Structure 1
Amino acid sequence: MKKRMKLVLASILAAGCLFASGCNAPAPSGSTSGSSTTVGVIMTGSSHDSGYNEAVADAAANLKKMSGVSVITAEQIPETNAVTDTMQQMADQGATIIFATSYGYFKYALAFAKKHPDITVLHQGGYQDGTFPANFGTYWGAAYEPVALGGMAAGKATKTNKLGFVYAFPIAQSIANIDAFQLGAAMTNPNAKTYLVNTSSWCDPVKQKEAVNALSAQGVDVFSQHQDCQTTVIQTAKAKNAKVVGYHYDASELAGSSWLTGSAWNWTSVMKSIVTTVKQGKFKGSKYNANWIGTFANGDNPLELASFGSSVDSETRSAIKTEQKKLSKKGASVFTGPIYCQDGTELVKAGEVATYQDVNNFSCLVKGVVGTLPSTSD
């Protein structure tokens, strides 16, 4: 990985047009008058992962179509000081806006923004506590909303009442997605349970294959995941004639008849809006100079319900669409009480609705989830 990182960074230095929009030299740092604004987009994985990073790459490609904008991209940059080096290389090429698009980039992106007040830095990865400098913000979506809808499809499709969920790290987003997936499954099948396997990696095909095999041996016949790359999970599940609910990217073509539905990021709108806000000199104090969260209720959730597979009947599709309409009403949430943790303690009281901030602080798995969370120092 280190060797690959060095090669990527060296290529940025030696041949800017490798990552830039076209092969024109980027505009000088901070210069937008009479020339293009240079935007940097950094990804932790491959831009062809049929998952999280490919969705980011699609948005970066659309940013290139904006008038007066050039784009530099870098992929497979680990969540280490390597991202700081990459941001610096982009700044040296004239980038005045940088999107650091992985969860683990946060502390590096924030530190870089503090040291470079002339560069606007955006972190893609969810709600973060604390105050931000005038040139920094985070953006994300209420991912658990469409994930719950996918859970509905899974609950209806299972013949064994056993659903599998392969996740990377026990972070707030993953816990919320696991819980929402189970809550959604229970809407269509009260007997459905969600079985967990943790890989401790955003993209490790070997561990993903082992996880699917282990869950399959327990009788799981529908799989979902919170991994950056989903190709291996899908292919392994497909080989076992199991069904799949995707995450991050619409991989219906890859999954074929195994595809039920999923959640797919569409970052283009929010990223374009951020770039426009910065170019207009209106970023400071804007909604993006904070924790921006898109939701169904606001009509701006960047995580959308993906396409339905051929095996999803009209009744199930209608039920999912009806629930989506409910979640689109102000104040609605899949996390409406009463909701209980595995051990029976009350997570959300009857009649109460958890806010995004509440959900971001959940640390328990809901009833119906089988498995435990590993300890984390994060």
Structure 2
Amino acid sequence: MTAFNRRESLKTLAALGAAGSLGPLAWAQKPLTVGVIYVGPRDDYGYNQAHAQAAAELKKLPGVKVVEEENVPETAAVQKTMTGMIQQDGASLLFPTSFGYFDPHILALAPKYPDVRFSHCGGLWTEKNPKNVGSFFGYIDECQFLNGVIAGHMSKSGKIAFVAAKPIPQVLRNINAFTLGARSVKPNITCHVIFTGDWSMAVKEAEATNSLADQGCDVFTMHVDGPKVVVETAAKRGKMVCGYHASQAKLAPNAYLTGAEWNWLTAYKTILEAAQAGKPHPNFLRGGLKEGYVKTSAYGPMVTDAAKKQADDIKAKMVAGSFDIFKGPLKDNKGNQVIAAGQVQKQTDLKLEQMNYLVDGVVGSV
């Protein structure tokens, strides 16, 4: 069924919302239909592609059917899509992947379908939310820190760049980690950031990249849904790039240094296996390099041995759980102390989930 029909032809199906409960035995015996919803195209070389890669692996599993819909906006349209997947396709587990799908859309539907499991990518679930709703996310700031280490070694101008969508905590955390990684190599390096205002705005992403190139930045990274424009524009300007979400190495093989990638299959399988076994829905899942939620892109041919060695040494400490990105003394870029000397904020610290500042060394404002 087409996306248009799924969203628009539900008038005769509303009564199905009160379907009977499924017990644990039913969960285990019935083939499981999984719905995956993307805010953009599945082949965007970015956020949506990373999720699509995990969905493709789910399709290979026995007893699992996957239905997908792409280009679903963060509006009431996603409620229609989710309802269609539940009522028409029989989906009992949904992965609505975009940040804006959660509130109010998932929260509006979940009470109507208590036997459907909703797993949102982003990190907003609390004890006040329905038990059939959960969130999962990865500590990809670990990989952005490693991007920063490589950028610090490779930058000749002492200026690196970050093209960002919105100043939400997850984005700020990545900007800060990238900057701190670079400053661990060159303490005086600066990271220049431009916010485009939305997750996917090709024209503004190109404008931001060119503006940052004009300012003398020579290594770029980003946090937008589809990094393709930033990667290709930076490469055309003769700049170097650290990727994000998925590998963009094919787009600019002579400019691509490394990248921060998601490995969503780890979370997907954990959530799927709980549903198949009739176990409680995982409400709050997190993991980093150690847990296999994130990974780094292969190094490009221009990356120096010294850069590789330092990044690999830090990565090994991260996997071992002996390296902390956010520790004091740490100031924001306005001179305020945000982490006191001797203090450490571990990856599980809720303060990192609520980050609202840019660290010292970032040129830009929230």
TM-score, normalization: structure 2?
Answer: 0.91
Tell me how far apart the structure 2 counterparts of residues 246 and 204 of structure 1 sit (CA, whole Å): 17
Following TM superposition, by how much is the alpha carbon of 1:129 offset from its aligned partner in structure 2, in angstroms? Answer: 4.1
What residue is the counterpart of 2:312 in the other structure? 321
The answer to whether the aligner puts 1:46 opposite 2:29 as a matched pair is no
The answer to whether the aligner puts 1:247 opposite 2:244 as a matched pair is yes
1:84-119 superposed Cα distances (whole Å, 9 cap, x missing partner): 110000001200000111111111112211221010
Aligned amino acid, residue 57 of structure 2: N
Following TM superposition, by how much is the alpha carbon of 1:191 offset from its aligned partner in structure 2, in angstroms? Answer: 2.2
Tell me how far apart the structure 2 counterparts of residues 9 and 301 of structure 1 sit (CA, whole Å): 36
Moved more, 129-138 or 158-167: 129-138
Tell me how far apart the structure 2 counterparts of residues 63 and 309 of structure 1 sit (CA, whole Å): 30
Q: Is the 8 A contact 1:29 1:95 kept in 2?
A: no
The answer to whether the aligner puts 1:364 opposite 2:360 as a matched pair is no
Moved more, 33-42 or 133-142: 33-42
Work out which of the residue numbers 218, 229, 233 in structure 2 matches 1:221. Answer: 218
Residues 128 and 273 of structure 1: CA distance in aligned 2, closer, same or farther (over 3 Å): closer
What residue is the counterpart of 1:105 in the other structure? 101
Tell me how far apart the structure 2 counterparts of residues 247 and 128 of structure 1 sit (CA, whole Å): 24
What residue is the counterpart of 1:293 in the other structure? 286
Residues 154 and 121 of structure 1: CA distance in aligned 2, closer, same or farther (over 3 Å): same
Give the gaps of 5 or more residues in structure 2.
Answer: 10-19
Tell me how far apart the structure 1 counterparts of residues 175 and 331 of structure 2 sit (CA, whole Å): 14
Instruction: Determine helix, strand or coil for the equivalent of 2:188.
Output: coil
1:165-212 superposed Cα distances (whole Å, 9 cap, x missing partner): 000011000010111110000011122110011111111111111001
What is the total number of aligned residue pairs between the two structures? Answer: 349
Moved more, 231-240 or 262-271: 262-271
What residue is the counterpart of 1:342 in the other structure? 333
Q: Percent identity?
A: 36
Residues 292 and 32 of structure 1: CA distance in aligned 2, closer, same or farther (over 3 Å): closer
1:275-295 superposed Cα distances (whole Å, 9 cap, x missing partner): 1111111024xxx22x21112
What residue is the counterpart of 1:94 in the other structure? 90
The answer to whether the aligner puts 1:80 opposite 2:75 as a matched pair is yes
Q: Is the 8 A contact 2:151 2:160 kept in 1?
A: yes
What residue is the counterpart of 2:32 in the other structure? 37
Q: Is the 8 A contact 2:191 2:361 kept in 1?
A: yes
**Equivalences for residues 197-212 of structure 1 within 5 A:** 197-212=194-209
What residue is the counterpart of 2:324 in the other structure? 333
Tell me how far apart the structure 2 counterparts of residues 277 and 33 of structure 1 sit (CA, whole Å): 10
Tell me how far apart the structure 2 counterparts of residues 181 and 265 of structure 1 sit (CA, whole Å): 16
Following TM superposition, by how much is the alpha carbon of 1:42 offset from its aligned partner in structure 2, in angstroms? Answer: 0.5
Residues 220 and 345 of structure 1: CA distance in aligned 2, closer, same or farther (over 3 Å): same
Tell me how far apart the structure 1 counterparts of residues 107 and 183 of structure 2 sit (CA, whole Å): 39
Work out which of the residue numbers 155, 177, 181 in structure 2 matches 1:184. Answer: 181
1:11-49 superposed Cα distances (whole Å, 9 cap, x missing partner): 6889xxxxxxxxxxxxx9966566421000001011000
Following TM superposition, by how much is the alpha carbon of 1:55 offset from its aligned partner in structure 2, in angstroms? Answer: 0.7
1:253-288 superposed Cα distances (whole Å, 9 cap, x missing partner): 11211001111111112201211111111024xxx2
Aligned amino acid, residue 309 of structure 1: G
Instruction: Determine helix, strand or coil for the equivalent of 1:328.
Output: helix
Tell me how far apart the structure 2 counterparts of residues 13 and 29 of structure 1 sit (CA, whole Å): 27
1:309-339 superposed Cα distances (whole Å, 9 cap, x missing partner): 1111111111001111222333632102111
1:203-244 superposed Cα distances (whole Å, 9 cap, x missing partner): 111111100111111111111100010111011000011000
The answer to whether the aligner puts 1:354 opposite 2:337 as a matched pair is no
Tell me how far apart the structure 1 counterparts of residues 90 and 97 of structure 2 sit (CA, whole Å): 19
What residue is the counterpart of 1:115 in the other structure? 112
What residue is the counterpart of 1:279 in the other structure? 276
Aligned amino acid, residue 167 of structure 1: A
Give the gaps of 5 or more residues in structure 1.
Answer: 1-5, 15-27, 374-378
